[in-house]
Structure 1
């Protein structure tokens, strides 16, 4: 991204979304079902913690897919398709492969050790499945994106800009996600990892994220104008979901609510966060390596903290702090400073 076109609010959204991901993953360790999806779980659950998590879990991952599509828009402004594929392979595919064979085995080992199981490992992406999906989306959608770039003054691009300059233009966007939920019928809706639901939903979000930035200022001004309506309806749907459906509403309602939360996040971020700062510059560089590393420190923190005879909320805070401080320490003192490590975590070699 050039200094002129850089959108600091989008950088902030990515950083915040990864921060929410850390909190969410730590919270899973305090749910009775956490062990069923490969997490170390505390012997005493904290059920109330999951109430706010049910609000987050239907939009935190789709939000990252939207942001990733936005990132590709900026990336292709100075690249041809070969350069894009090469750059994204280095930034996404290399850390993905490295993670599958180096990072994931570490937290799998910690998990198996905690439960005194025999040690074994079959290569799998674990939490890095997101990177595998993004790599596929870049390849699948690159022809479409470069066509739109080449025909900036064409009817299709002008049509996209015109449609997305109105709040009614968001209806087709929402309907695409509703259709995905109705056709695939995911159970549960928030199960994105290594499912067709997660793949198709991510593909849609990636594409529309690109289109949102392509649409220019008129789209963002429209979001800003209607932001309070988006957040009000999102809260209303969440309350209905929580009261009427015990947090598990039909997929089509979850899809609508998810999109409204995402529109709200983008709108408020555009209003308040679109400015540079040294903190953002640091966090935007650190976010990717921290994402790759965080599961190792969640499992290591769980292994240390869960056996302690202390209050459950304090355990949550301690594991979260251990995860954040541990991942940032490795980033700051090892990854950031060693040339050989930087490309393995998606950073440019200085």
Structure 2
């Protein structure tokens, strides 16, 4: 049984822009991770403590938003496959496997290892090893990395390899797509019913109230028991939030009614988000040195975090619907490259940051150079990948046949 979309087939350029902007913010966030005094793969010898509130501005919601817009793009892809004929679920699962699994495996064994290498170098230097690159720690590094035989441990624990680091997002998205394929195999006829139910539940201020209460409930019940690990098998709070956002995006992508409601509440959502961010940033700053807050305050901050999380997402969707629903050559270029940018950006940042820190540049100049090198490296990787077919598959650049026109409403070339 085919599913008839509840709105006319059309491309959601606002979601394309939101996805591109969210990934670009993530790149800047990871540059910030080098400077903020939080544990990361490599850290600046000159940490900037005042950067913490700025990092908190996107910390609660950036990846939840990415899962939501990925779910929406997945809906457009699935609908386009249904229009092409039978076997839509099988072709959907095959498409997601081909699109996500090769880049994930390639990244784990080629792109990510330099991150682990410099993480081990910094850990060795912290243990007093003057030249880690010439020590037994890093001899035959890639082989030790690939076979989980490195034995790289310090006081903070051991480094488990091979690892996916920032590619956890792709691993989770791949699993979510396969779960969705199983659900669609038996229940795709219910898509219009579920979409209408979602529209009824999120009428009026329900668009802001019910998602916040849901996120608060998850943070209250699952959050303390299952802290975020990105390890897939024990990450149940993160799964509840991320898979929930993915399903919400999938069910809401075709709803012009919800799109209009997000546009209507964009300003209240933004104001609520800014107030929640101020509260959460102040709370995090106050207890940044490991102090234990009162339990009542901790419970209240779980609600503030949930409000921050959803209010900024609602504002992004609302302002996107109002101002970003337009096409253009820049959008088409960035949409084609954003997955490649995501795959390579963190390794470029880690390697460049480690070496820049040893040049003794003024910190502002150093940060500007690091941002420029990261974006320049991403663009270079994209330009190379789009010209070398097999590399394009591994770096998330999907070749398009010149004879095949884009279908109306089809998810773009950078569906992730």
**If the length of structure 2 is used for normalisation, what is the TM-score?**
0.76
**Within-5 A mapping of 1:30-179:** 30-34=35-39, 37=40, 39-79=41-81, 80-113=88-121, 115=125, 116=132, 118-119=137-138, 120=141, 121=145, 122-145=161-184, 149-151=188-190, 153-154=192-193, 156-179=194-217
Q: What is the rounded CA distance, in whole Å, between the counterparts of 2:269 and 2:303 in structure 1?
A: 17
> Which residue in 1 is equivalent to 2:340?
289
CA RMSD after TM alignment: 2.3
Gapped regions of structure 2 (runs ≥ 5): 1-7, 82-87, 126-131, 146-160, 288-297, 401-416
Q: Is 1:180 aligned with 2:218?
A: yes
Q: Is the contact between residue 353 and residue 370 of structure 2 (CA under 8 Å) also seen in structure 1?
A: yes
Greater Rg, structure 1 or structure 2?
2
Match of 2:257 among 206, 215, 218: 218
Q: Is 1:347 aligned with 2:387?
A: no
Once the two structures are TM-superposed, the CA of residue 310 in structure 1 deviates from its matched residue by 2.2
Once the two structures are TM-superposed, the CA of residue 245 in structure 1 deviates from its matched residue by 5.2
Q: Per the alignment, in what secondary structure is the counterpart of residue 387 of structure 2? A: coil
> Which residue in 2 is equivalent to 1:203?
243
Greater mean deviation of Cα atoms: 224-233 or 302-311: 302-311
Greater mean deviation of Cα atoms: 40-49 or 194-203: 194-203
Once the two structures are TM-superposed, the CA of residue 294 in structure 1 deviates from its matched residue by 0.7
Q: Is the contact between residue 98 and residue 344 of structure 1 (CA under 8 Å) also seen in structure 2?
A: yes
> Which residue in 1 is equivalent to 2:292?
none
> Which residue in 1 is equivalent to 2:322?
271
Question: 1:236-271: per-residue Cα shift (whole Å, max 9, x none)?
Answer: 111222335537763332122111000001100111
Counting matched residue pairs gives 341
Q: What is the rounded CA distance, in whole Å, between the counterparts of 1:276 and 1:52 in structure 2?
A: 31
Match of 2:31 among 9, 26, 30: 26
Once the two structures are TM-superposed, the CA of residue 307 in structure 1 deviates from its matched residue by 1.0
Gapped regions of structure 1 (runs ≥ 5): none
Q: Is the contact between residue 96 and residue 132 of structure 1 (CA under 8 Å) also seen in structure 2?
A: yes
Q: What is the rounded CA distance, in whole Å, between the counterparts of 1:146 and 1:225 in structure 2?
A: 35
**If the length of structure 1 is used for normalisation, what is the TM-score?**
0.90
Once the two structures are TM-superposed, the CA of residue 87 in structure 1 deviates from its matched residue by 0.5
Once the two structures are TM-superposed, the CA of residue 165 in structure 1 deviates from its matched residue by 4.1
Q: What is the rounded CA distance, in whole Å, between the counterparts of 1:277 and 1:306 in structure 2?
A: 38
Q: What is the rounded CA distance, in whole Å, between the counterparts of 2:16 and 2:357 in structure 1?
A: 34
